[in-house]
Chain A
Amino acid sequence: MVIHILKRLSKKYKIIVNDYPSLIVIKMDDGYGGRNLTNIIEVDKVCKQYNQREILKDVSFTIKKGSINGLLGPNGAGKTTIIRLLNGVIEATTGTMKVMGFDPKLQGDEIRKRVGIVTESASLYHDMSAWDNLVFFSKIYGHADTKRIIHLLDQFDMLRFKDQLVGSFSTGMKKRIALAKALLHNPILLFLDEPTNGLDPEGINEVIHYLRKVNQEEGVTILICSHVLHQLETICDSYLFLIDGKIVENGTMIQLEDKYLKEIKLLVETGLKPLTSPTYKGCIYSRKGENQLEFLLSTKEEITPLLTNILKETWVHNCEITNRSLEAIYFHIRGGNVGE
């Protein structure tokens, strides 16, 4: 009742109201796409055993509403198990979880009504057309709305293929239909399990583009499971690293860089020809090409003074930190060698 009144008021006064049972969040539209810092997922000390094998060990993490999160880890780390647990299709052995304020074990249907999911295989009916697939799933989700289907097909550039059998589609096209399927019921939360598997570079870019669009335009919180790290770098706000069933690290890229980047490798395209090798103004460097120098710095704060000094002497066309990739951080966390 309270939520209902608030919702009516919200239409009038541009207030955002979340309809979770255990929390009511009221936030004036701040012009930042409705983003706030409420936790939409809370996982606390979750363990999962299956056939005497421990798949998840004491997993705890939170996901903020409106964010895009990467759940990273090698194959078999337990990423898919986490998604299944959060959707309430399997049950945790111990621990507690809250998804939008609901307990997946007891209120799974409430979660599933509000969640969209793209599983690893596209999971569509190949003997049915794209249109029939979307109509079927919209009815299953209780949101039979042809306007929404047309809108999504249009968004994913699939409207002209709507009457073709899904079985005749390429992997990329199937993924787009699977994404449209996951968004049919205007979900609050979107789970994607290896969404870029089997896609060519163009297909990967398209999926990333659509996900960003969905996050920005519809405010959907996204959790992406993947083992292909470089694809997530441009899209995720924060990351969870899952290795052997344990969350070994989490945070935003900046937080992770601060923690793991102990030295900065700065590649500068410049006309500088230092005379005193192997340092320039106290910075160690090595030559990587005719007009390329790689400087080894201890903090990011050293970048600006270095570039200022170089610019006093000559031109600079490009500069880039080369060891800040997600992959490099991932290998740091795994304790292996940093891939460069």
Chain B
Amino acid sequence: MWVNKQTILTIARKDMKATFSSKKVWVPMVIVAFLMCIVVPSCMAYFGIHFDLVGTSSEEIEKPLNSYIENFPNEDMRNTLIALPTLGYKFVYFFLTFMMIPFFLMVAIINSMVTSSNSFVGEKERSTLETLLFSPISIKDLFLGKVLASLIPSLGISFATFIGSFIIVNVITYPYFKVILYFNSTWIILMFWVIPILVLFNIILNVLISAKVKTFQEAQQFGGILVLPIVGIMISQASGMFFLSPLTLFLIGAVLLAGNLFLIKLVTKFNNRNTLFQSQIH
């Protein structure tokens, strides 16, 4: 057998226990997810429907927004938006369906970065990496255990917040929109294709980076670069440069999957105790 399942699970369990026994680690992760994926959409839904959020300036933006909707590339969405009675409803519907996507992507990235950048560097800072390298476990098993320990909490929090958001937002909006939000091909592809692959990509990249760098701060700085593409998506979504259609999302996932395969190849190249030991232990 080419991997030792027992060892991988032992390392993953130990790391997850460490993550959830330290309030400093898991509380910020949960709070960020709760704020960005539950509080923001819920408030947007509630206040957008019940209060005139767009306000007195509505006339100024009504024209450009209506022309924007008329030119919308997705026909179903265009028709749904046109059918909605007020500008406020249109804005809420548009925000919850499209603008929330980068929020979920962002939470997945941030959480996986926190757990994964802690992996090797955390072991090094506690001087336990040396002991692990002195034990009869393969570097591959060590990497896989670390990846699993980051993947499970990150995905768990993403899925839990998605379910929470799905329930709360739909309870607020269904009586008005008569449509179940987050329940379309875009969101299903996002949650069950793009996010798992993105989280995995981010984790493998971070585990690789943290095996190369020497301090936790360095690892996080490198990891932070990964947030940039998500900010790019957010801006392009808001400015109408391009929309995350199911096909675009599927392609993003496919590219990330290819990236994952490339990273895994790099990990196997890095599968050398001597190199890891000399770069990390002094």
- For chain B, the bracket of interface size reads 20 to 34
Q: Which of A113, A117, A121 meets B127, CB within 8 Å?
A: A121
Also in contact, A140 and B128, with CB within 8 A (given A90-B278, A91-B274, A125-B18):
no
Q: Are A140 and B127 touching (Cβ within 8 A)?
A: no
Taking the complex as formed, is B262 at the interface, i.e. its CB lies under 8 A from any CB of chain A?
no
A128 and B18 CA atoms in complex are apart in Å by: 8
A91 and B136 CA atoms in complex are apart in Å by: 16
**Interfacial chain A residues near B97, Cβ < 8 Å:** none
A113 and B4 CA atoms in complex are apart in Å by: 14
In chain A, positions 112-155 with a C-beta closer than 8 Å to chain B are 112-113, 117, 119, 121-128, 132, 136-137, 139-142
**Interfacial chain B residues near A121, Cβ < 8 Å:** 127, 130
Q: Which of A50, A90, A126, A140 meets B135, CB within 8 Å?
A: A140
Q: Are A139 and B10 touching (Cβ within 8 A)?
A: yes
Closest to A88 in B: B273
Q: Are A89 and B273 touching (Cβ within 8 A)?
A: yes
Q: Are A109 and B18 touching (Cβ within 8 A)?
A: no
**Interfacial chain B residues near A123, Cβ < 8 Å:** 127-128, 130-131
Task: Determine which residue in B21, B130, B135 has the highest number of CB atoms from chain A within 10 A of its CB, and name it.
Answer: B135
Q: Which of A50, A127, A141 meets B22, CB within 8 Å?
A: A127
**Interfacial chain B residues near A89, Cβ < 8 Å:** 133-134, 273-274, 277
CB distance from A153 to the nearest CB of B (A): 18
Taking the complex as formed, is A238 at the interface, i.e. its CB lies under 8 A from any CB of chain B?
no
A296 and B64 CA atoms in complex are apart in Å by: 108
Taking the complex as formed, is B265 at the interface, i.e. its CB lies under 8 A from any CB of chain A?
no
CB distance from B58 to the nearest CB of A (A): 54
Taking the complex as formed, is B7 at the interface, i.e. its CB lies under 8 A from any CB of chain A?
yes
Q: Are B134 and A87 touching (Cβ within 8 A)?
A: yes
Q: Are A112 and B277 touching (Cβ within 8 A)?
A: no
Q: Which of B133, B135, B274 meets A141, CB within 8 Å?
A: B135
Taking the complex as formed, is A64 at the interface, i.e. its CB lies under 8 A from any CB of chain B?
no
Q: Are B138 and A109 touching (Cβ within 8 A)?
A: yes
Mark each residue of chain B from 14 to 34: 1 if its CB lies under 8 Å from any CB of chain A, else 0. Answer: 100110011000000000000
CB distance from B266 to the nearest CB of A (A): 21
Q: Which of A84, A117, A127, A139 meets B18, CB within 8 Å?
A: A127
A123 and B278 CA atoms in complex are apart in Å by: 17
**Interfacial chain A residues near B43, Cβ < 8 Å:** none
Given contact pairs A90-B274, A125-B126, a sample of 4 additional A-B residue pairs in the complex whose CB atoms are under 8 Å apart: A91-B274, A125-B14, A128-B18, A140-B7
Instruction: Kindly list the 8 A-B residue pairs having the minimum CB-CB distance in the complex, ordered from nearest.
Output: A123-B131, A112-B136, A121-B127, A139-B10, A113-B136, A109-B136, A89-B277, A91-B274
9 A-B contacts, Cβ less than 8 Å apart?
A89-B274, A109-B138, A113-B136, A121-B130, A124-B131, A125-B126, A140-B11, A140-B135, A142-B6
User: Hey, which bits of chain A sit against chain B, CB under 8 A?
Assistant: 50, 84, 87-91, 108-110, 112-113, 117, 119, 121-128, 132, 136-137, 139-142, 181
